[in-house]
């Protein structure tokens, strides 16, 4: 929590510390110029009452964020080094120590169709990192094949938790379990979502045998890892681009295994994806794990084989 408090203006920090906010219940903090500071806490919206130094449900108690507050916050979250975080800011987020992610919005300056700069940063979304260690414990036995794993694709709609499942699989495969020795994992973390590296150091537990290539494109990252780190498994999030196909083929030709994720709400949507059709034709992936969110909020999974036949 320290790394989150420290990005707030000095005048607010003491009060926020006094609030005794439990990190387990805190989901995100929304900061907008001229608007009240909002905490998503325990599934509800709360306003920060700077006078009473507490969270309040009353809008009129809410502390209104000033322009200079945001200026200070940008300075703190970049560790006084906006120049060093230029690239992250162009991508719209900065990862803090602890894996927490700060989304950034403001006035964008475009240059040749790409984001050249974000000026007047007026909106921040601080998303509190939560690792759900052990969530993929039941899934892992279905992915193991001898001393290796099946080439596996974890599939779900956005927000269901495929990245969380992927991270947990990586951690367990890397550390090893009672039925599998630890594997050397090469992780291409294009958006810093899996390992959440801060200054090159993973903030999330991705296991003792995992090498992370942070902020690198998937296709290039897979090639680099193959050449440099000789991984037994290459893990990537959100496959789907045409160039990913080539990189996956190359990885498999080199004898490494692939553990990846892909956006698709269900098996039907999966079948319709052109890239998946190619993979299905070549039996590239041997296991497809489709995640669903139950009404209770818990996650269930179904496992399909390389012909998309339901296994369990």
Partner 1 sequence: MLRAIGCLCILSGMLGISQVYVAGIRAHYRQLLDGKELLYRLGNEMCYLKLPLPQLLKRLAQTIHAPYSGVLTDLAAELDAYREADVKKLWCEVLQHHKKEFLLSMTEYRTLQEAGSILTHENGQMQEGAVRLYSEQFDRLIEQAAKEMENRLKLCRYLSAAAGIFLILVLI
Q: How far is the CB of 112 from partner 1 (least distance, A)?
A: 17
Binding segment for partner 1 (CB under 8 A), chosen from 67-75, 141-149, 211-219, 240-248, is 67-75
CB 99 to partner 1: min, Å: 17
Residue 85 or 93: the one with the smaller Cβ distance to partner 1 is 85
Q: Which is nearer to partner 1, 10 or 294 (CB)?
A: 10
3-class secondary structure, 97? coil
Dihedral over Cα of 18, 23, 25, 26: its sign: positive
Give the binding range for partner 1 (CB under 8 A) out of 38-46, 78-86, 206-214, 304-312: 78-86
Binding of residue 98 to partner 1 (CB under 8 A) = no
As a whole number of Å, the end-to-end CA separation of the chain is 40
The reply to whether 6 sits near partner 1 by the rule CB under 8 A is: yes
Counting other chains too, the contacts that 85-89 makes at CB distance below 8 Å and 24 or more residues apart are 87/215, 88/215, 89/118, 89/121
* Smallest gap from residue 83 Cβ to partner 1 (A): 6
Q: Which of 27, 28, 61, 72 binds partner 1 (CB under 8 A)?
A: 72
Q: Which stretch binds partner 1 (CB under 8 A): 36-44, 74-82, 100-108, 301-309?
A: 74-82
Q: Which two tokens stand for residue 69?
A: 């507050």
Span from 3-11, 138-146, 154-162, 290-298 in contact with partner 1 (CB under 8 A): 3-11
Which span (80-88, 124-132, 270-278, 286-294) binds partner 1, by CB under 8 A? 80-88
Q: Torsions phi, psi of 198, nearest 5?
A: -120, 120
d(CA 185, CA 218): 15
84 contributes a contact to partner 1 by CB under 8 A: yes
Q: How far apart are CA 284 and CA 306, in angstroms?
A: 7
Out of 24, 51, 60, 83, which residue is the one contacting partner 1 (CB under 8 A)? Answer: 83
- Residue 236 CA to residue 156 CA, distance in Å, equals 15
Give the separation between CA 155 and CA 10, rounded to whole angstroms: 43
- Count the helix, strand and coil residues of the chain and give each as a percent rounded to the nearest 5: 30, 30, 40
Rounded to whole angstroms, the Cα distance separating 247 from 243 reads 7
- 4 or 21, CB closer to partner 1? 4
Scanning 5-13, 185-193, 210-218, 226-234 for contacts with partner 1 by CB under 8 A, the matching segment is 5-13
Binding of partner 1 by 215 (CB under 8 A): no
Near partner 1 by CB under 8 A: residue from 20, 24, 58, 80: 80
Give the nearest distance from C-beta 4 to partner 1 in angstroms: 12
Residue 36: how many CB atoms within 10 A of its CB?
20
Give me the helix-helix angle, 242-253 and 218-229, nearest 10°. Answer: 20
Residue 179 makes contact with partner 1 by CB under 8 A: no
Minimum Å gap between C-beta 133 and partner 1 is 29
Name the 3-class secondary structure at 244: helix
Token couple for 43: 């599934």
Could you list the residues that contact partner 1 (CB under 8 A)?
6-7, 9-10, 71-72, 75-76, 78-86, 117, 199
């Amino acid at each position: 929590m320290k790394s989150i408090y420290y990005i707030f203006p000095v005048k607010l920090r003491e009060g926020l510390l006094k609030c005794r906010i439990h990190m387990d219940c805190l989901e995100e903090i929304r900061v907008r110029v001229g608007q009240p500071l909002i905490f998503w806490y325990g599934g509800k919206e709360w306003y920060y009452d700077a006078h009473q130094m507490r969270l309040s449900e009353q809008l009129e108690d809410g502390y209104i964020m000033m322009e200079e507050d945001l200026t200070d916050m940008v300075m703190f979250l970049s560790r006084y080094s906006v120049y060093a975080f230029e690239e992250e800011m162009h991508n719209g987020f900065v990862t803090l120590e602890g894996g927490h992610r700060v989304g950034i919005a403001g006035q964008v300056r475009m240059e040749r169709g790409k984001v050249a700069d974000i000026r007047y940063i007026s909106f921040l979304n601080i998303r509190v990192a939560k690792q759900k260690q052990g969530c993929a414990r039941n899934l892992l036995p279905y992915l193991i094949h001898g001393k290796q794993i099946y080439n596996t694709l974890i599939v779900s709609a956005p927000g269901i938790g495929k990245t969380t499942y992927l991270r947990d699989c990586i951690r367990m495969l890397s550390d090893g379990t009672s039925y599998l020795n630890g594997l050397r994992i090469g992780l291409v973390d294009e958006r810093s979502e899996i390992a959440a590296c801060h200054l090159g150091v993973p903030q999330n537990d991705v296991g003792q045998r995992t090498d992370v290539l942070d902020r690198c494109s998937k296709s290039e990252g897979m090639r680099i890892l193959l050449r440099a780190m000789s991984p037994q498994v290459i893990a990537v999030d959100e496959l789907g681009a045409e160039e990913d196909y080539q990189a996956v083929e190359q990885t498999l030709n080199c004898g490494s295994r692939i553990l990846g994720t892909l956006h698709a709400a269900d098996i039907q949507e999966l079948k319709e994806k052109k890239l998946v059709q190619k993979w299905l034709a070549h039996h590239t992936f041997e296991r497809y794990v489709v995640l669903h969110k139950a009404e209770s909020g818990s996650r269930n999974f179904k496992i399909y084989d390389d012909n998309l036949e339901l296994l369990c």
